Amino acid sequence: MKHTIVLLPGDGIGVIVLNESVRVLKKAGFEADYIYGDIGWEFWKKEGNALPERTIKLLAQHKTALFGAITSKPKDDAVAELDTSLKDKGFTYSSPIVGMRQLFNLDICIRPCKSYKGNPLNFVRRGRTGAIEEPAVDVVIFRQNTECLYSGVEWSNPPDPVYQAFMTHPKFRQNFGNVPREDLAISSRIFTRKATERILMAAFEHAAKYGYKSVTVCEKPNVIRETSGLMLKLAKKIQKEKFPSIALWDTNIDAQMMWLTKNPEDYGVIVAGNMFGDIVSDGFAGLIGGLGFAASANLGEQVAVFEPTHGSAPKYAGYPIPIVNPIAMIEAACLMLDHLSETDKASRIRNAIKQVIAEGKVRTYDMMRFTGSPDVIDKGAASTVKMTDAIIEKL
C-alpha cells in the first residue's frame, strides 16, 4: 500500500533534519507520496498563524505527519515580529505543536530511549568493583500528552466563582485563605479516566507486543492523591484484568529521577502524566545521548505526528555546512514506520544507525562533545549530510 505523508519542516534545523529523514526513508524503500505543509514562524509573521488552516486540513485528510521543529517566542516578541500589515489586529501567538496536539487530540506520546552500543554519549557508572559499566538502556516512556498541568486551566488573581470554589476546600481555606487574591497563581492538574486509561492501555499493549517485562507508573500518588492516585488505581485494574503476565511497578517521579542513573537497565515501559512524563523522558534521553538521539510519536485516534524532541536550534540553522545530528529525526521516521506497520523497514534503518555508531568513524559534533560552531567540521566532526550518507550506505 502506498502511503501519503505530510511533511512539516517548520523552522531552523527542523527543515534540515526533516529532509535528511526523507532521504533515508526513500533509500529504505518506503513508498509514499510526500506533501509539504506550512507551519512555523514564517507563517506567524506573514499570516498571523503558525498553524494555517490549510495545514490542519492536510493533516485531517492524510492522517500521518513527519514534523521537524518550530521556533516559539514569548508573546510580546512574537507580536513585534508580525508583518506590519497584521500589527494591532489582535493576533496572539500560540505554539503550533501544542495546537496540533489539542486539535487532533494527540493524547498518546511515545518516547523511546534506547542506547546504541558505541555511542560516546552513553551513560556510564562505576560498578561495585570500581570498574566502569555502561548499562544498556532500553526504556519506552508513555507520556499523556493533553491533560495534567498542560491543560491551560489556570489563573492569576482568580475571578470570583473560581476563588469561591477553591474556598470551599478546607485545605485551601486553611493554607491560602489569608493570601490576597492578587497574590494567587493557580494551575490545575486535570486527569480524566478516559485519557488515563488510553495512555495506560497503550503502555501495556506496547510492553506485550515488544516483550517488555514491566510497566512502571511514574507519578506521586502518596502526595498528589487524586490525579496520580487515579492513574495508579486504573493501572492496577488494567494489569490485573488484561495483562497479568506483565509486572506493574510504581515509582515516585522524584525517586525515579535519582534511580535512573543507578539502575536504568531495570526499567522497560514507563507511563506517566504529562508533566512527569516530560521530565522522566528528558531524564532518560540524557542517558542515551540527548537531543541528537531523542524522538517521539504523538498519536491520536485519527492523526499521528512524529518528531524529534529537539527544537529549531536557530543558531545552527544558517551554517553553510549543517552540523546537527540527524539521528533524532531519523528515529522519528522509524517510529512512523512502526505506526504504519512497516516494521521491517524501521528495523533496517535502526540497524544501519547501529552499525554506523558501532563503527565510530562518522560522528556529529555532539557525539564528539564539541561546542557547536562551523569549525567542528575541520576538527573532524561529520556534517549532518555525512551522517545521513553513512546511514544510507549501510542500508
3-state secondary structure of 123: coil
Residue 291 binds: one of ligand NAI, Mg ion, none (C-beta under 5 to 8 A by kind): ligand NAI
CA distances to 6, 16, 17, 106, 165 from 38, in Å: 10, 15, 16, 19, 43
User: Is the Cβ of residue 97 or residue 287 nearer to ligand NAI in the bound state?
Assistant: 97
Q: To the nearest whole angstrom, how small is the minimum distance from the Cβ of residue 168 to Mg ion? A: 35
Question: Using the rule CB under 6 A, which residue among 311, 342, 356, 383 binds ligand NAI?
Answer: 311
Residue 271 binds: one of Mg ion, ligand NAI, none (C-beta under 5 to 8 A by kind): none
Between strands 138-144 and 154-156, the pairing is: unpaired
Residue with cell 517521539: 296
Buried b (16+ CB within 10 A) or exposed e, 307-320: bbbbbbbeebbebe
Strands (E), the chain: 3-10, 32-36, 64-69, 108-114, 125-126, 132-133, 138-144, 154-156, 185-187, 214-219, 247-252, 269-272, 295-299, 304-308
Could you tell me the three cell numbers for 330?
531519523
User: Is the Cβ of residue 21 or residue 251 nearer to ligand NAI in the bound state?
Assistant: 21
Q: To the nearest whole angstrom, how small is the minimum distance from the Cβ of residue 231 to ligand NAI? A: 25
Applying CB under 5 A, does 307 fall inside the site for Mg ion? no
Could you tell me the three cell numbers for 64?
500521518
By CB under 6 A, which span of 98-106, 233-241, 265-273, 324-332 interacts with ligand NAI?
Answer: 324-332
User: Is the Cβ of residue 43 or residue 276 nearer to Mg ion in the bound state?
Assistant: 276
The vertex-224 CA angle with 223 and 229, nearest 5°, equals: 110
**Interaction pattern, residues 330-369, with ligand NAI; x per rule: CB under 6 A:** ------------------------------------x---
By CB under 6 A, which span of 117-125, 140-148, 271-279, 311-319 interacts with ligand NAI?
Answer: 311-319
Q: To the nearest whole angstrom, how small is the minimum distance from the Cβ of residue 310 to ligand NAI? A: 3
User: Is the Cβ of residue 52 or residue 283 nearer to Mg ion in the bound state?
Assistant: 283
CB proximity list for 180: less than 8 A, separation 6 or greater:
none
User: Is the Cβ of residue 100 or residue 207 nearer to ligand NAI in the bound state?
Assistant: 100
- Of residues 267-286, which lie at the interface with Mg ion (CB under 5 A)? 278
Q: Is the dihedral of CA 338, 342, 345, 348 positive or negative?
A: positive
Q: To the nearest whole angstrom, how small is the minimum distance from the Cβ of residue 292 to ligand NAI? A: 4
Are the beta carbons of 298 and 108 closer than 8 angstroms? yes
Q: What is the DSSP letter of 40?
A: S
Applying CB under 5 A, the residues found at the interface with Mg ion are 278
Applying CB under 6 A, the residues found at the interface with ligand NAI are 69-72, 97, 291-292, 307, 310-314, 324-325, 328, 366, 372
